[in-house]
Amino acid sequence: MTTTIDTAFDAVTADAVSAAAEALAGRRVAVLTGAGLSTDSGIPDYRGKGAPVRTPMTVTEFLSSDASRRRYWVGSHLGWRAFAAAAPNAGHRAIAELEHRGIANGVITQNVDGLHVRAGSRRVVELHGTMRRVFCTHCGQVFDRRDLALRVERDNPWIRVPENVALGPDGDVLPESTEGFRIPECTVCGGMLKPDVVFFGEFIPAEKFREAEQLVHTSDALIVAGSSLVVNSGIRLLERARRRRLPVVIVNRGATRADARATVKIDAGASEVLSALVDVLPAPA
């Protein structure tokens, strides 16, 4: 099969996209995405070129310190509206279209922004959870984040969310002050609330990782889009694909931990490349 990529890519990138299309043609594909896919939606990543150095809160800090939880909830609330208002971009829509055409089995994402769901993807494995939900660490009650935001503003009427915020990768903002902030509690038992996300230093739930493994296991190829693969969960899934000798296509601006293990590496924007692949990939027989 000879594939012509009619895009504005430079010659090297166009050749790489053509090689990726050749490797993926006629196969059922699993897609693994990272923060680099959501940068076109205005959500920054941790490790991309030009990203500022950030020290994310660890699960130990969050669970063990009132001061840390106060800092987290103030910053998270200040960034929530901008984070929730982010819209799916062409990359999210391309992945949803690949699924609708029967080319993609589904998407595994390291992102917590929910943009794959909003783009129309039906099978989404959110490895690191979602910012859409909050749960009580004591009784397990689950709350919608939108409802919690209203409660935070009711309990802290002095809070003023700025129109323009320097949004962090997980939707947070570095607060100038946390003094006087009332930390939200569970309305059922008064217990500690935690966003339904995997913090740094926290393990991915075993059942969630098994779901991701199953998606890779039932696919014939793997696309990694917008991830530097620094997080071990991504590398583990890539190795599952390699052990079965499946083609692996990595699309990311800059180097990743697995470039040498890829069938094809494309150093370009995920949105542009995925959109190009939608135009040329045939559905599996």
CA distances (Å), 112 to each of 115, 145, 217, 230, 277, in order? 8, 13, 23, 17, 25
Out of 116, 128, 138, 217, pick the active-site residue.
128
**Residue located via tokens 């946390």:** 178
Rounded Cα–Cα distance for residues 67 and 177 (Å): 11
Q: Note if 100 is an active site residue.
A: no
Q: Residue 21 CB: number of other CB atoms within 10 A?
A: 22
Q: Which residues pair with 109 in a beta bridge?
A: 33, 126
Judged by DSSP in three states, 270 sits in: helix
Pairing mode, if any, of strands 221-225 and 264-266?
Answer: unpaired
Which residue type, as a one-letter code, is found at position 149?
A: A
Q: Edge to edge, what strands does the sheet with 29-33 contain?
A: 124-126, 104-109, 29-33, 221-225, 248-251, 264-266
Per-residue tokens: 53: 């150095």
Rounded Cα–Cα distance for residues 226 and 34 (Å): 5
Please identify every residue annotated as catalytic: 128
